[in-house]
Homo-oligomer: A and B are copies of this chain.
Amino acid sequence: MTGRPYHHGNLRTALLAEAERTLRDQGIDHLSLRDLARQAGVSHAAPRRHFADRQALLDALAEAGFLRLGDEVRAAIDTAGDDYERQLRAAASAYVRFATQDAALLELMYVVKRGKHSPALDDAFGRLFAAFDDLLRQGQHAGERQLGDPGRVRLLLLAAIQGTAALVTSGSVDAAQADQLIADAVALCTHGLMPRAAGRSRP
């Protein structure tokens, strides 16, 4: 129907989408502006209108990544029902799933965050952090048992989640072990006991 217009029409979006795919499939070393332009069917200088330089593209990728990850974490919490621990595990699993499927992107996200301080990026990261923090504060407000300073428990759980993601993407741990790690971390931070091994529960 729509013969695609001479002016690409949505070059910025197309470049970002293609960049995310390249990042996932080939790694950041194969991410070149000229190549993206080629695949979008425009001249090598066209991206300049939308991204001042290569770094600007990476910044935009990082920002979009934090926003999407935040959304996925929130969605996981929303569909986890009312049980607090179950919600925590769902949130953590969503984070680890993202880390597994988009390892290179997640890495880029934190590299950019370390190097750059733009309001847009800080906001996107803040939304992700808040997805976890809101849940944890909510839990402590609803009278969940606390083992100590709530702020410290919160930080510890965040560390465990991010650490689990790191262990998975580095290949030191598989998906099943990651799920158990998450369950253990959540249980230890909420009631101070690790769950029994799967086969040993009794009626």
Complex CA–CA separation, A69 to B170 (angstroms): 16
6 contacts between A and B (CB under 8 A): A114-B169, A147-B188, A149-B197, A159-B164, A162-B162, A162-B166
Binary per-residue interface labels of chain A (19-52) against chain B in the complex, 1 for a CB within 8 Å, 0 otherwise: 0000000010000000000000000000000000
Query: Looking at the complex, which of A1-9, A78-86, A135-143, A171-179 is the stretch in contact with chain B?
Result: A171-179
If the complex has contacts A103-B114, A163-B161, A163-B163, are A173 and B194 also in contact, measured as CB distance less than 8 A? no
**Residue in A162, A173, A192, A197 with the greatest tally of chain B CB atoms within 10 Å:** A162
Question: What B residues does A180 contact at CB under 8 A?
Answer: 152
Q: Is the CB of B173 within 8 A of A167?
A: no
- The prevalent SS among residues of A at the interface is helix
If the complex has contacts A160-B160, A185-B159, are A170 and B27 also in contact, measured as CB distance less than 8 A? no
8 Å CB contact of A163 from B153, B160, B172, B173: B160
Shortest CB-to-CB span from A188 to chain B, Å, is: 6
